[in-house]
Chains A and B, each alone.
Chain A
Amino acid sequence: MEVEFRLEPGRQEPKLVILAGAETDELRQLAQELSGLSLDPVPIWEGELSRRLPQDEFLRFYTDGKGVCAQTAAATYAVHLRLYELEELLDRRKFARISNSEIINLNRVTAVDLSLAGTIRMTLDGHVAVYVSRRYVKKIKETLNLGGRRGR
């Protein structure tokens, strides 16, 4: 399949056009999957300064009692968005809500463990431990199936 880029200076959101001889089921599925992609960077705050970081950089977003925080491999930042607003903004194939107070980047999960007491623990990037509420397990599996990441 040929891929062609046409740059339009000033365009805010990328637009994809599929050129084909006929509209097939595969193409319809591809279009549906592509339209679901969210590529918008996430605005974070460092004191008074605001920056936008690409979604892939984030390990997780969580509430800490004062507000919403975003953690990357390097640092933790404040985010002036609610978790449900972040859910709307983030790529649904990569990010999933794992509890009432946390959204994680599924691409950064390096281990999943279960304790004898039934607690599911995920490890992000080998060192950040997060705990999954069992109420969200079904939703996480749906997200993973959507992303088609078996045998990543």
Chain B
Amino acid sequence: MKGEIKQWLIRLGAGGALGALFVQATLYFFWGSFLIPAVQGRPVHPFGIPFWLVMPQMAADFGSADAAGLIQLLLSMLFGAVVAVSTLPFAEGGRALVLRSLAHFVGTGTSFALLLGLCRWVDWRMVPVCLFLLALLYLLIWLGRWIGWYSQVVQLRTLLGLSPGPSPLKWKETLPYLPFILLVCMALPLILRGIEQLFGADIPVFTGLLYPYLILPAVGFCSGLSLGKHQGLCWLYPPSCALCYLPTVYLLFNDSALFHCFMIAVPALAGVVMGWLYRRAVPKKAPKS
């Protein structure tokens, strides 16, 4: 336990120092670039130190460049410290891991939002967007760790003489469904648009109504149901459906049709879950000998 506390303290200290250095270096080297556009005017230097920069608006918010500099330093140290302990929650498993990860995300998100907002790096209205991107990054890291653990489980199964089991997140099992989805998401709307143009339809009933509101959900649900029934929960299938549809949005429609991605992904998720529930409720019949 003592060793664990020592490890936390060392990481917090080192992370705090690196965070402060990183923030200052970023401001110093990227001021005026596309990363930190110099729209607010010239930076100010707390205590007259040339390498120490703060946004002029932040200095105005806090009354002086020195106060703003100290607050920015504290916030950057806090952010660095929180990031430095980000791998420690993964040492646990199960409920403890989930709770620690959530607590860590709250800590990281709060310090990140404060750093961005109070230091005036971005407008407060943009902070939720940045937090959303941070959440995506978290999800990606979680996925990476999970695949690492899964490969350990596969090793254990092999060493125990058991079947290695499905691929991580069942990506291999999901692949056979993708050509069909690609056809439905890319070829079918093009054909329907062609038909509409051929008959000179004034209202695009096929591509504007039937396809997004009937065909897409039905195909998503039925294919998800089949996948879930045969392979169990395949979490990658719904986002794959949305991704397959994304090019069509820009080929045939525009940004306003982005919600179509959900019109296939959400029913696909529902189908996968229903199929999985069916699979659990009705076990496979043993082959007759």
Contact = CB atoms under 8 A, between A and B. Distances in A.
A119 B93 contact: yes
Contact of A118 (B97, B156, B159, B161): B97
Given A113-B153, A120-B153, A150 B159 contact: yes
A38 B241 CA distance: 55
Contacts of A109: 160, 162
B273 to A, nearest CB: 14
B97 A112 contact: no
B149 interface: yes
B91 A152 contact: no
A151 to B, nearest CB: 6
B159 A149 contact: yes
Nearest to A143: B159
Contacts of A137: 152, 156
B87 interface: no
Interface in B90-141: 90-95, 97-98
B97 A106 contact: no
A93 to B, nearest CB: 12
A150 B162 CA distance: 9
Contacts of A141: 155-156, 159
B94 A117 contact: yes
B52 interface: no
A115 B98 CA distance: 11
Contact of A112 (B93, B94, B145, B156): B156
Interface of B: 90-95, 97-98, 145-146, 149-150, 152-153, 155-162, 165
Given A118-B97, A120-B149, A144-B156, 12 more contacts: A106-B160, A114-B149, A117-B95, A117-B98, A118-B146, A119-B97, A120-B152, A134-B149, A144-B160, A145-B159, A149-B161, A152-B161
17 contacts: A106-B160, A110-B162, A112-B153, A112-B162, A113-B153, A114-B149, A117-B93, A117-B94, A118-B93, A118-B97, A118-B145, A119-B94, A120-B93, A120-B152, A134-B92, A149-B159, A152-B161
